[in-house]
């Protein structure tokens, strides 16, 4: 069994990942600004500090830390927070691993499905496709570059470009459960999605099977805003109205951030499947029924 250090370990994905790692008899330590539990250790990015005890005998680092993309409007200040919360944290981890001369078995980092840009097209994006030329693409590029620097220390690097995470509490699904459910904008934009258990299990699968490289962490079944909304309405017995929420209204409410609601393309999950990962929730209906 492995000892895993997690950043963002108390967040939506990190909490579930911690539970599943412990169920599989792995040991977990978490970096926290305000450690409260025995397995939590302090880190302070502003003061360039991580408690050295957090690194004792660790095999892997899973880097999930980062300010929520959709938590606030994208002011210039907020955009810096979104980037720095991902990049500066990874840079500090790199500095400490190098300083302590750790022999890590792997560094696994989150990234976003926004790597390919906020676009709606007929293309199904694979991991080899080019970077998107917008803010989301820029965030993901800097995020992934910060992870790839671990290769200079001969540490294998794995990156999971994650879609919308569906979970029972918190996250995007909770916000979608409005009294009346309607598609957003044109309704034709795709929503790359993944069940939280599949995402957490995918992280575990990469470390247990020494999987290295960049992977799209999305479910195999594709859905548009329209088909997703219909499935959700049916599953939770709420009315679905085919009159779409107008794009201009979303732009007024959310500014630049509205692009993550109004645009989206399909991502291929074939690479991670070819590497042996067995999805538990391949279809949206199965995921929603479980949740």
* Residue 71 confidence (pLDDT): 87
Domain ranges of the chain: 3-166+194-219+268-280
Find out whether 6 and 14 touch, Cβ atoms under 8 Å. Answer: yes
Between 196 and 176, the more confident residue is: 196
* Residue 219 confidence (pLDDT): 98
* Residue 89 confidence (pLDDT): 96
The 10 Å Cβ neighbour count of residue 33 is 11
DSSP letter assigned to residue 46: T
Per-residue pLDDT for 82 more than 90? yes
pLDDT digits (tens, 9 = 90+) for 42-52: 999 999 999 99
* Residue 199 confidence (pLDDT): 98
* Residue 248 confidence (pLDDT): 80
* Residue 20 confidence (pLDDT): 97
pLDDT band at 26 (very low <50, low <70, confident <90, very high): very high
Q: In angstroms, rounded to a whole number, what is the distance separating the alpha carbons of residues 43 and 53?
A: 11
Question: How much is the average pLDDT of 218-240?
Answer: 93
Residue count (the chain): 291
Q: What is the bridge-based pairing of β-strands 49-50 and 40-44?
A: antiparallel
Q: In angstroms, rounded to a whole number, what is the distance separating the alpha carbons of residues 212 and 126?
A: 16
State the DSSP string of 74-127: --HHHHHHHHHHHHHHHHHHHHHHHHTT---SEEEEEEEGGGG-S---S-EE-T
pLDDT band at 251 (very low <50, low <70, confident <90, very high): confident
Count of helices and strands (H, E) across the chain = 10, 12
Residue 19: alpha-carbon gap to chain centroid: 17
* Residue 176 confidence (pLDDT): 82
Q: In angstroms, rounded to a whole number, what is the distance separating the alpha carbons of residues 285 and 283?
A: 6
Domain 3-166+194-219+268-280, second-level architecture? 3-Layer(aba) Sandwich (3.40)
List Cα–Cα distances, 191 to 53, 78, 221, in angstroms. 41, 24, 10
Place of tokens 């995921």: 287
Return the percentage of the chain with pLDDT > 90, whole number: 76
pLDDT band at 111 (very low <50, low <70, confident <90, very high): very high
Per-residue pLDDT for 258 more than 80? no
Question: How much is the average pLDDT of 212-222?
Answer: 98
pLDDT digits (tens, 9 = 90+) for 156-176: 999 999 999 999 988 888 888
Per-residue pLDDT for 262 more than 90? no
* Residue 50 confidence (pLDDT): 96
* Residue 174 confidence (pLDDT): 83
Q: Please give the mean pLDDT across all residues of the chain.
A: 93
* Residue 231 confidence (pLDDT): 92
User: What are the b/e assignments for 210-242, b being 16+ CB within 10 Å?
Assistant: ebbebbbbbbebbbbbbbbbbbbbeeeeeeeee
pTM: 0.94
* Residue 150 confidence (pLDDT): 97
Q: In angstroms, rounded to a whole number, what is the distance separating the alpha carbons of residues 125 and 119?
A: 11
Helix axes 135-148, 76-99, angle to 10 degrees: 10
């Amino acid at each position: 069994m492995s000892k895993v250090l997690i950043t963002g370990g108390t967040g939506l994905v990190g909490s579930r990942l911690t539970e599943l790692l412990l169920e599989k008899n792995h040991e977990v330590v978490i970096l926290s600004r305000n450690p409260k539990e025995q397995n939590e250790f302090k880190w302070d990015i502003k003061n360039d500090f991580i408690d050295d005890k957090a690194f004792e005998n660790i095999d892997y680092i899973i880097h999930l830390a980062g300010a929520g993309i959709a938590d606030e409007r994208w002011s210039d200040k907020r955009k810096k927070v979104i980037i720095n919360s991902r990049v500066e944290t990874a840079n500090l981890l790199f500095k400490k691993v190098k300083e302590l001369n750790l022999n890590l078995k792997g560094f696994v980092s989150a990234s976003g499905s926004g790597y390919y840009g906020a676009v709606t097209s007929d293309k199904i994006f694979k991991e080899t496709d080019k970077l998107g030329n917008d803010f989301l693409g820029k965030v993901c590029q800097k995020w992934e570059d910060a992870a790839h620097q671990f290769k200079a220390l001969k540490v294998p690097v794995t990156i999971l470009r994650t879609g919308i995470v569906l979970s029972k509490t918190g996250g995007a699904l909770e916000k979608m459960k409005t009294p009346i459910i309607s598609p957003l904008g044109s309704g034709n934009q795709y929503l790359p999605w993944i069940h939280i258990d599949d995402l957490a299990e995918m992280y575990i699968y990469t470390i247990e099977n020494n999987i290295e490289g960049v992977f799209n962490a999305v479910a195999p079944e594709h859905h548009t805003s329209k088909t997703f909304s219909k499935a959700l309405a049916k599953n939770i017995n709420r009315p679905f109205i085919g009159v779409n929420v107008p794009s201009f209204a979303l732009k007024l409410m959310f500014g630049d951030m509205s692009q993550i609601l109004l645009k989206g393309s399909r991502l291929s999950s074939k690479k991670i499947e070819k590497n042996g990962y067995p999805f538990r929730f391949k279809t949206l209906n199965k995921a929603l029924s479980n949740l």
